[in-house]
């Protein structure tokens, strides 16, 4: 299962530094970062794709991260 997150941040360098420092917490939540993108037209928008191995733990991580760096949307995805 994958998890697609989109957030807006006014301070990408600060957000990225904090994001990188929380790698252990994401790993403990069963999340592996597969890809990170920045919107080419809106540099404040960040899109993250994770492999999610444990949905309940990933959902718990999401609740903790809501508002971290700005508004965030999250969608769990399965292969069709």
pLDDT for the residue numbered 64: 86
DSSP state of 51: E
Q: Which of 1, 13, 15, 3 is nearest to 71 (CA)?
A: 15
Q: What is the pLDDT of residues 19-76, one digit of tens each?
A: 999 999 999 999 999 999 999 998 889 999 999 999 999 999 998 887 666 678 999 9
pLDDT for the residue numbered 71: 78
Q: Strand, helix or coil at 59?
A: helix
Contacts of 1 (CB under 8 A, 6+ apart): 51, 52, 53, 55, 76, 77, 78
pLDDT at residue 2 tops 90? yes
Domains and CATH numbers, the chain: 2-77 (3.30.70.260)
pLDDT for the residue numbered 20: 95
């Amino acid at each position: 299962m994958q998890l697609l997150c989109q957030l807006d941040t006014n301070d990408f360098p600060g957000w990225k530094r904090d994001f990188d420092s929380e790698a252990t917490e994401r790993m403990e939540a069963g999340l592996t970062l597969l890809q990170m993108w920045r919107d080419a037209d809106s540099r404040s928008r960040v899109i993250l794709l994770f492999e999610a191995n444990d949905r309940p733990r990933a959902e718990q991580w999401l609740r903790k991260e809501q508002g971290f760096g700005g508004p965030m949307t999250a969608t769990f995805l399965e292969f069709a």
